[in-house]
Amino acid sequence: MRQTKKMVIAALFAALACVATMAIRIPTPGTGGYIHPGDAVVILCGIFLNPGAAFLAAGMGSAMADLLGGYFLYVPITFVIKGLVAFLAGHAFRRLSGHLKNRTAAVAVCGLIDVALVAGGYCFCESFIYGTAAALASVPANLIQGASGLVISTALFPLLAAVPDMKRMMAAR
């Protein structure tokens, strides 16, 4: 696949991560945060893009949502956490999809990576900002967010994998 097309698809994934994060926001009481479906796009970045492009697309798209949404403090935190989710999900998918009969199961494992890194990563960072008790209070909402990303990405994967250009993207990784 041509380099320009790969860059365009990565940019589209970044835009989708931003839009999916901002379009549907379910506020979480007491934390000032929100639950959103953007994690599904972050997971799919890892699956369809090469690891470097996945890190950048997921990190930039998710961080842009924080920037546009007024969560300025979280921009660098989100960039790193979501970028790592996509990067690690991509590596996990590549290794697991060759061993598992059903690639959708590999996507679900990528969703578990998202759950762990989102809940753990934000808790770790927030413990320095707000203290341990406040950081721990945000864990349930982050677990729900990660679980929704797992479910949505698992549902969307077969649809995207059927698109010829996306098939080629996965094969070229």
| Sign of the dihedral through C-alpha 122, 104, 25, 166 | positive
Nearest to 160 by CA among 76, 43, 15, 20: 43
Supply the CATH number for residue 73's domain: 1.10.1760.20
pTM of the full structure: 0.93
Name the amino acid, one letter, at 84. L
Return the H-helix or E-strand segment holding 19. Answer: helix 3-23
What is the domain count for the chain?
A: 1
Containing structural domain, residue 156:
1-170
Instruction: Give, as one character, the DSSP assignment of residue 35.
Output: E
pLDDT over 80 at 40, yes or no: yes
* pLDDT tens column, 79-111: 999 999 999 999 999 999 888 778 999 999 999
